[in-house]
Amino acid sequence: MQAKKIIASMVLVSTLNPWGSVCQANLYGVLERNGNSWSFSKIQTSQPSSSSVNLHTKAPLSYDMSSYYCKKVLWGTPIECNESEEKFRDSSTSIIATTFVNLFGIGFFGLGLLANGFVLSKNSHFAQDDFDSAVSSAFKIGNVDELVSEYDSYITYVNNKKKQYEENAEPRLKNIFEKHQKQQQRNLNELETSYVVNDLTGLWSSATQLPQIYPVPTTLDVIQPILEANTNFSATPEQFLKELKASRSDLDLLYSNKLSSLNGLLANYDKKLSEQSKIIELKHAHEMSVKDFYVKCDYPEIVDIEKNKNVTVKYTIQSKSWDNVFPKYENKDENLTISFDGETIKFVNTTNKYLQIKSVSVYYNAEVYNIENGLYLELPPNTWKDYNPYELLGANNIKKEAKYININKQNALNNNFTFGFAVKYRSVEQSVDKTIYKTNKYNLYKVLAELVNKN
């Protein structure tokens, strides 16, 4: 196969992602009761697993907000309504029925004495007003409005710093990325691939197309110079503002250092992509089946275009497996001629008398298969007839002999087999059966070559 220049198209689309992420302002407080007053024991940016308050909306979180029916009776086992000031659970009460209870059963003069039992209806619910009052008190005690405002201001400051750093770095990083994408395309266009075929079977057709190997550019790295900022806080109200102030100072220092080191980062990124863009990967199966030929493929999986612009792909035609390998055959006597072209038996009557074919046998090495019962084939004088030997050649023992696995030229040349036919026939004017029989020795490679040329 001749050398070919492989031209692979590559869409130049930047895969650079938006740098960093916008920080969201979420602040929560753990509400606790101290005597008769309420306060926030902790201010934090992650939602607590226990009951808490969203400090931006003042909404309750993880509190039991459900309403449900409950009751108590004047005697008997009470049904709890789960009232709790700390959990802001309360209940309202009303009388809904009077139950007559037989206290003494059948009494004097056959009359029972009855007493009234009062059933009280209760509805358990979340005490929203009490909760709002407690939150309002805790906001005043801890000066929480100022904390929330300062936290929101800090988050805005963080996002602005991130944006400034992104706007400074993103265009320059994108230019470097796209520059090396274009270089990858030029490298792909310069790569030439030649193909060499080594046929170990001797039966491969040069007209058969082998699959081409297409180069794939290596994946270029994408870096995201994110400006890391502390947005996770958990402190008492007294310490919260101090931690915000310290984090803002740390962010200013980090931003300054990031800008100072940006040129070095860009230079290293450019160098890294320069190394990556010159690498081309070749992806293809190393073993395959092509028209029942077992083919191996040898090629370099990684190519450095600066060191090698010419790649040789070596195909080795290892072997082929064959079914129904039947050679040509011919035999004759003074009355009958038999010929076989690998598919059909031809009987030729060379006499002036009728001939009747009574039995046909096929021989393949030591295996024999015979057809006699039901066979009726009559040949008029000086005529011929074709006979389809599908039953003969399709017999299991014959098919097994006619099958060859993983054959190459060398083992085919070393493989010989015998094949032939025996036919029992009779002239209608005679009462004696005659037999025509012969087996021939064949070389497997020569037979396979004839089959390939025939097809």
E strand spans, 293-344: 293-298, 302-304, 310-322, 329-332, 336-340
Return the pLDDT at 317.
96
Sort strands 37-44 and 234-235 into parallel, antiparallel or unpaired.
Answer: antiparallel
Band (pLDDT 50/70/90 cuts) for residue 430 is confident
When pLDDT is averaged across residues 308-322 and rounded to a whole number, the result is: 95
Average pLDDT rounded to a whole number, residues 140-165:
93
Residue-wise pLDDT tens digits, 354-373: 999 999 999 999 999 999 87
| Same domain, yes or no: 333 and 441 | yes
For residues 289 and 201, state if they share a domain.
yes
Residues 337 and 373 reside in one and the same domain: yes
Answer yes or no: do 286 and 334 share one domain.
no
Last residue of a domain, one of 124, 142, 160: 142
Mean pLDDT of the chain: 86
**Residue 404 forms part of a structural domain:** yes
The model's pLDDT over 202-214, given as tens digits with 9 standing for 90+, comes to 999 888 889 888 8
Instruction: Give the separation between CA 267 and CA 50, rounded to whole angstroms.
Output: 50
Per-residue pLDDT band for 81 (boundaries 50, 70, 90) equals confident
Q: Do both 84 and 174 map to the same domain? A: no
Q: Which amino acid is at 256?
A: S
Is 16 strand, coil or helix?
coil
Residues 8 and 156 in one domain: yes
Average pLDDT over residues 326-339: 96
On whether both 251 and 160 belong to a single domain, the answer is yes
User: Residue 29 domain-assigned?
Assistant: no
Q: What is the model's pLDDT at position 77?
A: 55
pLDDT the model gives residue 38: 94
61-81: average pLDDT: 71
Distance from C-alpha of 214 to C-alpha of 191, rounded to nearest angstrom? 10
Q: Is residue 365 part of a domain?
A: yes
Q: Are the C-beta atoms of 442 and 419 separated by less than 8 Å? A: yes
Provide the greatest CA pair distance for the chain.
140
* DSSP annotation string for 428-453: TT-S--EEEEEEEEEEHHHHHHHHHH
CA–CA gap between residue 417 and residue 439 (Å, rounded): 10
pLDDT of res. 109: 40
Binning pLDDT at 50, 70 and 90, where does residue 148 land? very high
Range of weakest confidence among 46-55, 86-95, 150-159, 300-309: 86-95
Q: Residue 425 domain-assigned?
A: yes
In a domain, 305, yes or no: no
For residue 391, the surrounding DSSP H or E stretch is helix 390-393
At 433, which CATH number? Answer: 2.60.40
Same domain? For 175 and 294 the reply is yes
Contact at 8 Å (CB) between 87 and 51?
Answer: yes
What share of the chain in percent tops pLDDT 70?
Answer: 86
Task: Tell whether the model's pLDDT for residue 3 goes beyond 80.
Answer: no
pLDDT higher for 365 or 100? 365
Residues 241 and 160 in one domain: yes
Same domain, yes or no: 251 and 234: yes
What whole-number distance in Å separates Cα of residue 170 and Cα of residue 14? 12
Quote the pLDDT of residue 187: 93
Would you say residue 247 has pLDDT above 50? yes
Q: What is the pTM of this model?
A: 0.63
- Whether 114 shows a pLDDT value over 70: the answer reads no
Residue 43 lies in a domain: no
- Answer with the one of 115, 142, 169 that is the final residue of a domain: 142
- Provide the 3-class DSSP secondary structure of residue 134: helix
Pick the closest to residue 29 from 240, 212, 267 (CA basis). 240
Phi and psi dihedrals of 369, rounded to 5?
-140, 135
Tell whether 269 and 393 lie within a shared domain.
Answer: no
Q: Give me the domain span that covers residue 91.
A: 57-142
| pLDDT value of residue 57 | 93
* Residue 287 domain flag: yes
Inter-residue contact 320 to 208 (CB < 8 Å): no
What three-state secondary structure class fits 345? strand
Q: What is the pLDDT of residue 79?
A: 60
Three-state secondary structure call for residue 19 = coil
Provide the pLDDT for residue 213. Answer: 86
> Span 136-160, mean pLDDT?
93
Query: pLDDT, tens digit, for every residue of 248-265?
Result: 999 999 999 999 999 999
361, 349 contact by CB (below 8 A): no
Q: Please compute Rg for the chain using Cα positions.
A: 48
CA distance 98 to 115: 10
Last residue of a domain, one of 250, 281, 298: 298
CA torsion sign, 363 to 364 to 365 to 366?
negative
List the one residue out of 194, 172, 176, 174 whose CA is nearest residue 277: 176
Q: How confident is the model at residue 141 (pLDDT cuts 50, 70, 90)?
A: very high
Q: Is the pLDDT of residue 432 over 60?
A: yes
What are the tens digits of pLDDT across the range 340-349? 999 999 999 9
Is pLDDT of 219 > 50? yes
- Distance of alpha carbon 203 from alpha carbon 144, whole angstroms: 89
Mapping DSSP to helix (H, G, I), strand (E, B) and coil, where does residue 148 land? helix
Kindly state the average pLDDT of the residues 46-64: 92
Same domain? For 165 and 289 the reply is yes
Task: State the burial class of residue 390 (Cβ atoms within 10 Å of its Cβ: 0-12, 13-18, 19+).
Answer: exposed
Kindly tell me if the per-residue pLDDT of 120 is higher than 70. Answer: no
- Those residues whose C-beta lies under 8 Å from the C-beta of residue 437, and which sit 6 or more positions away, are 331, 420, 421, 422, 423
- The predicted model gives 48-71 an average pLDDT of 88
Count of structural domains, the chain = 3
Distance CA 369, CA 392 (A): 6
Whether 270 is covered by a domain: the verdict is yes
**For position 98, what pLDDT does the model report?**
47
Range with the poorest average pLDDT among 18-22, 196-200, 356-360:
18-22
